[in-house]
Amino acid sequence: MPVDSFRVTAPFNTTDYRVYSKKQNELPKTVQKERHDGRQSNEHRPIVMKIGILSQAKGSAYVEYQNTKVICSVFDPREIPNKSEYSVNGGLYCEFKFASFSTQKRRGFIRDAEEREYSVHLRRALEPAVIRHQFSNFQVDIYVLVLENDGSCLAAAISCANLALANACVPMHDLVTAVSLGLFGEHEIIDPTYSEERSCLSKPYVNQAEQGQGIITVSYMKIFQQITEIVHCGIMHSSSINHYIEKLIAENEKIYNLCRQCLVGNILVHLREKKETEAA
Amino acid sequence: MYSILFSDAEKTYIWDGVELNLRNDGRKRNDYRPMELETDVVTHASGSARLRLANTDILVGVKAEIDVPYPEAPNVGKIEFFVDCSANATPAFEGRGGEDLANEISSALLKAYDVLPLNNLCIVPGFSCWKLYVDILILECGGNLYDSVSLAVKSALYNTRIPNVKGTYIDGTNVDLQLSDDLFECWKLDVSKAPCFVTLCKIGEYLVVDPTVEEEACSTASIVVSVGENGSITGIFKIGEGSFHQNAICDAIKLAGTIGNELNKTLKLALEKEENLGIRRERYGFLK
Amino acid sequence: MDQSICINLAVERVNTSVPTREQPCKLFTPGEIIFLQSDFMRGHGTYPEDDVLKASVAGVVEQIGKLISVKPLKNRYNGEVGDVVVGRIIEVTQKRWKVDTNSRLDSILLLSSVNLPGGELRRRSVEDEQMMRKYLIEGDLVSAEVQSIFADGSLSLHTRSFTYGKLSQGILVKVYPALVKRSKTHFHNLPCGASIILGKNGFIWISPTVSDANSSGGFTQNLDQKVLKGDREVIARLRNCILALAASKIPLYSTSILYAYEESEKYQLAELLNPESMLDIAILTQQKIQMMEDF
């Protein structure tokens, strides 16, 4: 079926049955102090990070925040297709995709507007970290697939892609990590789940600018102390931004340590294996 | 986006100028270039506006059509944004060249307009609602695309007139829509909550508003903040390949809040002024 | 917070044309018959058909002796030997640079027609060819003179004089080539404290005045030196004045620019971007020029 690529494709004609359930529509319109999974407001879900899980790709990584599961693969640099001019800086090609069964509503195979938007955010978050002039005229392909989305999938995707890049030995200035913050009035929740995200973005906004409502995702390079990407949707007042960013950075630094551990651990395993084979 | 050739010396000149708070065209860092606005330029649209900011030329048409609301949101209307980067603007947009940029702008608008209440657009809950198609045509690019697009969209929505339609239930379940006999009996959208974008372009260590194409070429990163009523922030994202320091980003967002508030006020005054001229005012359109 | 935001309405738009005393001349459109007789010489912008001469572009007819040509009102730069131009390097190839001079085809600057450091009469060696990117790279601006015109119409430039060469810090303004009036010199050190190069191709370069001792006509760019705020104000004002004159289609030469600069003094720098003040300056300049002509 030909698709008009200039337009955002219309929603599929089928609808998720849960829409019709009374309970679903009465989803928590607010965020309580006690989170439904029993976490503190500034507590991140437990994180699992693994690298080198795919054998075909040059680098790959898997990140799991309980029910948010993201997989990413990075391939060897290849010449930038359809480009005649010489470009000093190499390119990053990012593709962000939801698996069609990853969300409540089934996703199509063609990338929709949201996925394209996340692809752009992903690229913007990673670009400052990669030393791109070392592979002039080449591009590195990064494919992120969300296997299951239970909130904070962009943050998970950025951290995951960063691990995959490191695993693929693409030269980088620093590690990039990302964290989401959900805002709902006086509640600020780190790493919101899908239902919390929906509550934070439920319209019309009951909280006005003074209190804030919405989601902020910040990706951060710890050593350079640079914010590589910030995405905010919702409503807030400009005076509270300092507070939010400080909170997000503090959390990012924790994830940075995890990423480091993961990478170092992987190298140690490699070295041990090498030693063993040599000994044998 | 689009790139231009540029020598190092010219770049240095711009950098130093921004540092001294005197830009190449004599503006200070926080100054906008004069804009020109006209609404109601397209007859077939429910609302339209054209905005020129130096060489940037944006034409926006809003069309209201009747649709069925989403089952998960039965009593709100719909709004959708389509951006067309026409090859008129620069040959680089030819074919699919402008597609990425167009997608970026339209998804940014969609997010920023989350704050606009659409309850008025519902005709019969669960059965029919208005859908606003906001079509944005970029006719010329002269820098600062985001700001000018958002201002043009807001003006076009201000100008939008939606006819009075009443839904009545016939035999209990079926809905019959009745259009008022007087086609001129319309109501207007309330755009006081509609946001506008403020792009802050980082040049050297400083932030400038309303960058020209040359200034955009000198900067590594910009931050786009959408500012709604009373300077509230309704969306933030970064463009460009660079990054920001924590303090820089906080300063930028605060600055954007004040500037955006001012921008919204100025736009409101201009729109009201034009409206007070009455329907019989002279239309210029593309005639100069 | 000091910021200026100004949204004008289209209804208040000013008409940028300024009144002139000159009679409007006859304009020809493509296909229009210029002459019925056949004893003429066919120039640019015309074509013969059935013994009559027709215009192929929209513009005014120019007659020099028997040569009839139609000069289009708005066109790209048609080079003439000896013209001073300002151009931007767009490509570095073997033994030559390609230069954008706003003409139909890219112009050429041969390695053999530039002054290389270390004497004019040096042979161009292979090393020089490899060093080309050191002198000029993509994006650099040069001032040059048209040396000759190739058969296909593209221009060959040269910079064999100390006045020409790579341009350092400053602002480039682009106007229609037809607006730049030919004069004895296109390099001016204006008394207001800035230098200006009026390229015949419509590229105008405004830069801070440098003392002659430093000008080597070579390929040095001074990136460390910061241009002072005072100089910048003058340069920015000149830029806005030139654009104001260009918007009202007033010919650009040193006198008209200086007049405009004098008239602009009553405005703040940023005010010069407003269409009203631009028109005001254009009208006042036009009046002053006419007064001087009458005098």
Is residue B1 one of the residues assigned to a domain? Answer: no
Choice between B167 and A163, residue whose per-residue pLDDT is larger: A163
Q: Count how many domains chain A has.
A: 1
Write down the CATH number for the domain with range C24-72: 2.40.50.100
Q: Count how many domains chain B has.
A: 1
Is residue B2 one of the residues assigned to a domain? Answer: no
B223, B232, B244 ranked by CB distance to A237: nearest: B232
Domain that holds residue A257: 31-279
B115, B238, B243 ranked by CB distance to A235: nearest: B115
Q: How many CB atoms lie within 10 A of CB B33?
A: 24
Which residues, other chains included, contact B63 with Cβ-Cβ below 8 Å and sequence gap of 6+?
A: B44, B45, B46, B132, B133, B135
Kindly give the confidence (pLDDT) of every residue in chain C, 295 residues in length, as a single tens digit, with 9 standing for 90 and above: 466 788 888 777 777 777 777 777 788 888 888 877 767 778 888 888 887 888 888 888 888 888 888 888 777 888 888 889 999 988 888 888 899 988 888 899 988 888 776 655 566 677 777 778 888 888 888 899 999 998 888 899 988 887 888 888 889 998 988 888 888 888 888 888 888 999 998 899 998 887 654 444 456 666 677 788 888 889 999 999 999 999 888 888 888 999 999 888 888 888 888 888 888 899 999 888 888 888 7
Chain A adjacent subunits, 3+ CB pairs under 8 A: B
The pLDDT-based confidence of A82 (bands split at 50, 70, 90) is confident
| Partners of residue B33 in chain C, C-beta under 8 Å | 273
How large is the average pLDDT for residues A150-155? 92
Is residue A263 one of the residues assigned to a domain? Answer: yes
Q: Is A193 left (phi over 0), alpha (psi -120 to 50) or beta?
A: beta
Is residue B22 one of the residues assigned to a domain? Answer: yes
pLDDT value, residue A149 = 92
Is residue A13 one of the residues assigned to a domain? Answer: no
| Partners of residue A92 in chain B, C-beta under 8 Å | none
Is residue B3 one of the residues assigned to a domain? Answer: no
Is residue A20 one of the residues assigned to a domain? Answer: no
Is residue A19 one of the residues assigned to a domain? Answer: no
Q: Do B17 and C232 touch (CB under 8 A)?
A: yes
Is residue B284 one of the residues assigned to a domain? Answer: no
Is residue B286 one of the residues assigned to a domain? Answer: no
Whether the CB of C126 is below 8 Å from some CB of chain B: the reply is: no
A247-to-A250, A252, B3, C244 alpha-carbon distances in Å: 5, 9, 37, 51
Q: Mapping DSSP to helix (H, G, I), strand (E, B) and coil, where does residue A274 land?
A: helix
Q: What is the mean pLDDT of chain B?
A: 86
Is residue A7 one of the residues assigned to a domain? Answer: no
CATH code for position A149: 3.30.230.70
Whether the CB of B173 is below 8 Å from some CB of chain C: the reply is: no
The pLDDT-based confidence of B1 (bands split at 50, 70, 90) is very low
Is residue B86 one of the residues assigned to a domain? Answer: yes
How large is the average pLDDT for residues A60-68? 92
B162-to-B91, B183, B277 alpha-carbon distances in Å: 37, 10, 21
CATH code for position B142: 3.30.230.70
Is residue A173 one of the residues assigned to a domain? Answer: yes
Instruction: Provide the chain B residues 254-273 that lie in CB contact (below 8 A) with chain C.
Output: 258-259, 262-263, 266-267, 269-270, 273
Chain B adjacent subunits, 3+ CB pairs under 8 A: A, C
**The pTM is what?**
0.87
Q: What percent of chain B has pLDDT over 70?
A: 97
Is residue A129 one of the residues assigned to a domain? Answer: yes
Q: Mapping DSSP to helix (H, G, I), strand (E, B) and coil, where does residue B240 land?
A: strand
Q: Which chain C residue's Cα is nearest to B12?
A: C223
Quickly tell me which residue has 């004895």 as its tokens. Answer: C184
Is residue A270 one of the residues assigned to a domain? Answer: yes
Give the residue extent of every domain in chain C.
24-72
Rounded CA separation A138/A122 (Å): 18
Is the pLDDT at A78 greater than 60, yes or no? yes
Tell me the shortest Cα–Cα distance from B143 to chain A, in angstroms. Answer: 20
Domain that holds residue B132: 8-276
Best mutation site among A198, A205, A235, A240 for testing chain B: the one with the most B CBs within 10 Å? A235
Question: Count of CB contacts below 8 A, A vs B?
Answer: 124
Helix (H) or strand (E) holding C127: helix C126-130
